[in-house]
Amino acid sequence: MRWIAHLDMDAFYASIELLRYPELCGQPMVVGGRHQPVTTPDGERQFARLKDYAGRGVITTATYEARALGVHSGMGLMKAAVLAPEAILLPVDFDEYRRMSRLFKAAVRSLTPVVEDRGIDEIYIDLTDVPGAQERSSNDPHAGVRRLGSALKDSVRAATGLNCSLGITPNKLLSKLCSDLEKPDGLTILTPDELQTRIWPLPAQRINGIGPKASAKLEALGIHTIGELAAMAPLELITHFGALYGRWLHEAAHGRDERPLLLHSEPKSLSRETTFERDLHPLRDRAALGPTFTALCERLAEDLQRKGYVAKTIGIKLRFDDFKIVTRDQTLLRPTDDALEIRRGAGLCLKRVPLERRLRLLGVRAGGLCKTGEKNQAASGGQSKDGATLPLFE
């Protein structure tokens, strides 16, 4: 039998912070913003509270205690402060999150090499041919795969000190859904004959791939659960959602998914961006914008170098105080991972944008990626002759 596992780290960023600050265990806590803890002369750590926050930052993640108060990732910190004013506020530390991500993935690969990387805190694992996966016992037909699931969880915990949740089913779609059923620290094993009792009663939007728009449309059609979706005729779904998506909805509701694991995929782009605590004027706040712009380019260059890529195009992303988003791209003469070249390309993009309104967000993107070894083979582009300058935000 085919066995695919989806491993999802539990409240990953928040759990890492709790390792660093164990005194916060059991308390509502969110990660976002830039407020660093302060250590008093007697060695006591003092933490910022949501009620004291002022700005436009958003929550990166939250502990389960904070989530119980209605707080969730992506929510504005000011809005969250209304729901959980006493919640602890910690700054993000992406360098540490990436380090822990590498640790837990290495721990998994030490047990089984067939892994699809899905992001910083989740992976798919093919357990089908792992020794012991197909073992059964008289009182547990899934004894082998259950033992493997427990071993994976133990290995991740030993490497990181963190808990994860696993869903193990015959395919990626069901495993993704099941890894969320018994969080935190869950292990859920499901076979197709349990679909009607364990999956069909769930809300339709629990299926990965049914977003807010499709969910609202299903609600309007009187479809609330996965079981109700499964009962719809395929032709009716196609009528309302189109041929491709309609057929997929029917297959997904019946738990069918033949996708293989993708063991290697090349990123199309890398980016770095920041949201300002207050709107910054392109001219009057150049002293603040200049170093920020340069730092984003430097961090993007570091990302490229660490991952072994060079970029053929450099782009910028601006969000103004009226929430309008503007992007521009610049093709380089030759692919690069050099911070100065990235800064020059981004500066040329910036020259093509009317900078008349205050800025809420500034970002830099590297596209047209190729491996560093292919740098000299890449086709040249058409960089402007003034590419040697560093315009704007100097």
Reply yes or no on whether the pLDDT at 108 is more than 70.
Answer: yes
Half-sphere exposure of 2 (CA within 13 A, CB side): 13
Regarding whether 276 and 234 lie in a shared domain, the answer is no
What's CA 214's distance to the chain center, in Å?
21
CB 178 within 8 Å of CB 122: no
Share of the chain above pLDDT 70, in %: 95
Candidates 17, 65, 122, 341; catalytic one: 122
Query: Is pLDDT at 103 greater than 60 in this prediction?
Result: yes
* Shared-domain flag, residues 187 and 210: no
Report if pTM > 0.85.
no
DSSP H or E segment with residue 303? helix 286-307
pLDDT at 384: 41
Among the residue ranges 8-17, 31-40, 149-158, 358-367, the one predicted with the least confidence is: 31-40
Indicate whether 275 and 372 sit together in one domain. yes
125 falls within a domain: yes
17 is catalytic: no
Distance, in Å, from the CA atom of 147 to the CA atom of 246, rounded to the nearest integer, reads 38
Q: Is the same domain home to 104 and 80?
A: no
Among 92, 120, 154, residue at a domain's last position: 92
Distance CA 189, CA 178 (A): 8
For residue 387, is pLDDT > 70?
no
Task: Confirm if 241 and 249 have CB atoms less than 8 A apart.
Answer: yes
Residue 392 in any domain: the answer is no
Asked which of 74, 92, 110 is the last residue of a domain, the reply is: 92
Task: Look at residue 214 and tell me if it is in a domain.
Answer: yes
Q: Is 258 contained in some domain?
A: no
pLDDT exceeds cutoff 90 at 55: no
Check pLDDT > 70 for residue 120. Answer: yes
103 neighbors 45 (Cβ within 8 angstroms): no
Residues 282 and 369 in one domain: yes
Percent residues over pLDDT 90 in the chain: 81
Same domain, 82 and 170: no
Could you report the per-residue pLDDT of 25-36, keeping only the tens digit for each?
Answer: 999 999 987 788
Stretch (H or E) spanning 101: helix 94-109
What pLDDT does 392 receive? 65
Cis preceding linkage at 85, omega within 30: no
**49 DSSP β-pair partners:** 88
Domain at 214, CATH number: 1.10.150.20
Which tens digit of pLDDT belongs to each residue from 209-265?
A: 999 999 999 999 999 999 999 999 999 999 999 999 999 999 999 999 999 998 877
- Residue 306, pLDDT > 80, answer yes
Least confident of 287-291, 364-368, 372-376, 387-391: 387-391
Residue 385: its pLDDT value, please?
39
Residue 380 has a pLDDT of 42
Number of domains into which the chain is organized: 4
For residue 125, pLDDT over 80 is answered with yes
Is 370 found in the same domain as 284?
A: yes
Instruction: Supply the pLDDT for residue 21.
Output: 94
Same domain, 33 and 82: yes
Full domain range(s) for residue 30: 12-92
